[in-house]
Structure 1
Amino acid sequence: AILVDGGAGAQEEAWRAATRETMEGFAQVMPESHIEEKASSLVWHYREVTDQASAEEAADRAADSLDHLSCDQPVDQPQIRITRGHKIVEVSCRKARKGPSMRRICEDKALFGEPFLSVLVAGDDESDESMFDVAPPDFLTVKVGPGPSHARFRAEAPSDLRAFLWQLLAMAPAAS
């Protein structure tokens, strides 16, 4: 069964179907890869592929194929964004971005009188940058891994972020 965002209409399903078909072709030739379905995007993960050189070449071809798909979108269709990230190719609807969504969630929570006491935003991918861009100065933003970023802090690897989170937990007062 394929789960699609509840508000998605036939137009969104059209780009999803075409994207899914293209990604499935690449996933078949790279059996250690997989496709992740998110509410507003499809992501082809190839991190587990043994032959990374072939996987990177396939990712280039996938991004090119998907880019042609985005150019073929009629003007009245949702426009899509193709992002090459860390061992992923993500296709998302241009109207959906992590940053504005995160900001809206935090603002809505505050509007109902229950603001978050603190917020940690961590990410390892280009698609996470929009969250770092819109995060207020009191948010703790962490880029995981190499590459340029607008995050205030950097963890060299996921294990470094985990170690930091364990340190934070150790410093937290015990719940009563």
Structure 2
Amino acid sequence: MTKPIYLTGFMGSGKTTFGRLLAKHLNREFIDLDHFIEQQEGVSISQIFSDLGEDEFRKLEHKVLLSTVDKTNAVIATGGGTPCYFNNMDFMNNHGTTIYLKVNVEDLVNRLLPAKNHRPLIADKEESELREFISRKLSERAPYYNKAKIIADTSTRSPSDTLRIVTRALELH
């Protein structure tokens, strides 16, 4: 039976961009969990954070994640923090194939700095604060991210190289 593929990794790791590429390559549906939440709630993730706070967002995110169990022919890009709450990583590992898109701190800073205003957790951070935040959060989240069935270091790889490596790894699972 086909199972969902869950993409995990820090914000800016390429989950959405790579997820679309992987879904097209595998002829699967692509679901961005954040966009899925926005569609269901009728407001942006930033607005949910602002109105309800991170704790309530994480509860909502968990509920929506559980609803993806029947999306067996999908590639699902999760939020950067999704694996770290409510045993979400164990759920994803038990019901699908998890892939951690690993990116080093400097590459994440370079990717996130220009787009930080669209990301509620980093919108108010200057470059040095952003670097410290990413470094600290990556350390906190590493135990969850590293539970993934497939770990793909994408720091120096093009999306097409990553696709080749991940496709090969998926064939072995």
TM over 0.5: no
Q: Which has the higher contact order (CA 8 A, sep 6+)?
A: 2
Q: TM-score, normalised by structure 2?
A: 0.32
**Of Structure 1 and Structure 2, which has the larger fraction of its residues in strand?**
1
**Of Structure 1 and Structure 2, which has the larger fraction of its residues in helix?**
2
Greater Rg by CA: 1
Q: TM-score, normalised by structure 1?
A: 0.32
